[in-house]
Amino acid sequence: MTRREKILAGVVGTFVAMAALGLGAHTLVIKPIRQVDKKTATLRDQLAKVHADRRAFFIAEEGVKKTTQHSFDIDIDKASAKSAELLTQQILRAGLPEMEFTRLPFGPRKLRGAQEIGWNIQGDGRLDQTVNLLFLLDADPHLHRVDGLTIAAGDLPGMVRVRFRYATLVIDPAPEVEPTSLQAKVSLDSAERRIFDGIVQRDILRPYIKRPPTPGSAPGSAPAATPGAPPGPESLRIVSLSEWLGEPEVHVRDLANQRTLRFKPGDELAGGTIAMVDYRTMPKAGSDLLQAFSRVIVRVGTEYWAIEVGKTLAQKYRLNPDQLPDSLARLEAAKTGGQ
């Protein structure tokens, strides 16, 4: 090998050695550094998530504390007693006769982080005083919810029958909080109460009753209904489909005799037997653009007929098999299969 070839071989060997050294440095130094950087980024993301969860925890804890301060008590028995006392006070403050109102307790029902208790309320009173009661309950700062509200016309003008469900929560487990005095920001003398005066002045909660024609006012006109006479289906209107103590009720207004009749599933109505009260949202009969939210379903022979709220018994319509609720569809399928 000549001198020149030796020099060339040395140069090539040097380059090969440097390349091998660079590859080794990448494997031994740079790659671990990149792995450390990747782990650091992962830890930063996890730390950010921990901080976000911590902030959410403190926000939720503060919300639970405020909710606990607005609850009646952290003990179920005491909360039930205090809520009953408040309801009695509100009924009296509204001017309603306390003896005309029933209060039946329900619960406790175990929920996540709380227990639900409350009262089923029903009573009769003047319309203006009933509006007072609902206004006071809405303005009360205690933790509560009013649902299932039903207001039906009473037997006399200006009188109504009201029923609703008053529910509250007992936080369980409850955090330690400082007790606070809860006072409503508005009262019956406030301007906010006057907004609802139109309901009382117009007596809009009473169903519309068409004025009977005077005798001889129009040729061929139908004679006026005789009080006490058996009403026809066109004189019986569904005015309410409510639920009381877990059992549905059908309220029918007898327009001829000016009285309200109450029926339950299994009772006879509209030439058949009440099968159930259906609370599904469906298109109204004769209109696909409007929605009906409840109806009473009557079984007549082997067919099912429906009457919507606000309609008379003469306006019942037959339900197709695909319009039946699941419970009735399964019942009919079982009957068909058993035959």
Task: Name the percent of the chain lying above pLDDT 70.
Answer: 87
Can you tell me the distance from the alpha carbon of 158 to that of 101, in angstroms, rounded to the nearest whole number? Answer: 17
| pLDDT confidence tier of residue 223, bands split at 50, 70 and 90 | very low
* Cβ atoms 73, 172 nearer than 8 A: no
Which SS3 state, helix, strand or coil, does residue 111 take?
A: strand
324 neighbors 304 (Cβ within 8 angstroms)? yes
Residue 274 scores a pLDDT above 80 = yes
Write down the pTM of the prediction. 0.51
C-alpha distances (whole Å) from 187 to each of 70, 72, 91, 190, 270 are 19, 20, 14, 5, 46
Q: What is the reported pLDDT for 1?
A: 67
Query: Taking 70 as the threshold, does the pLDDT of residue 211 lie above it?
Result: no
What does each C-alpha distance from 19 to 11, 22, 24 come to in angstroms? 12, 5, 9
| pLDDT for the residue numbered 71 | 92
Alpha-carbon dihedral of residues 305, 308, 312, 313, nearest 10 degrees?
20
Mean of per-residue pLDDT scores for the chain: 83
Q: What is the mean pLDDT of residues 157-165?
A: 85
Task: Compute the average pLDDT of residues 272-281.
Answer: 89
Is the model's pLDDT at 339 over the cut of 70? no
Question: Residue 117: is it exposed, middle or buried by C-beta count within 10 angstroms (0-12/13-18/19+)?
Answer: buried
pLDDT of res. 245: 62
Q: What is the pLDDT of residues 48-96, one digit of tens each?
A: 999 888 888 888 888 888 989 999 999 999 999 999 999 999 999 999 9
**Which residue matches tokens 């209904």?**
225
Q: Give residue 246's Cα distance to chain centre.
A: 15
Mention every residue, 6+ apart, whose C-beta is less than 8 A from residue 337. none
**β-sheet bridge partners, residue 291:** 283
Q: State the pLDDT confidence band at 163, using cuts at 50, 70 and 90.
A: very high
Q: How far apart are CA 296 and CA 308, in angstroms?
A: 7
- pLDDT of amino acid 222: 45
pLDDT higher for 139 or 24? Answer: 139
Cα separation, 127 vs 157, in Å, equals 9
How far apart CA 224 and CA 233 sit, in angstroms, is: 15
**What confidence tier does 144 reach under pLDDT thresholds 50, 70, 90?**
very high
Please give the residue that has the higher pLDDT: either 115 or 18: 115
Q: Give 70's DSSP letter.
A: H
Burial class from Cβ neighbours inside 10 Å (0-12, 13-18, 19+) for residue 200 reads middle
The pLDDT of residue 332 is 79
The pLDDT value recorded for residue 130 is 93
pLDDT of residue 94: 94
Question: Average of pLDDT values for 108-137?
Answer: 92
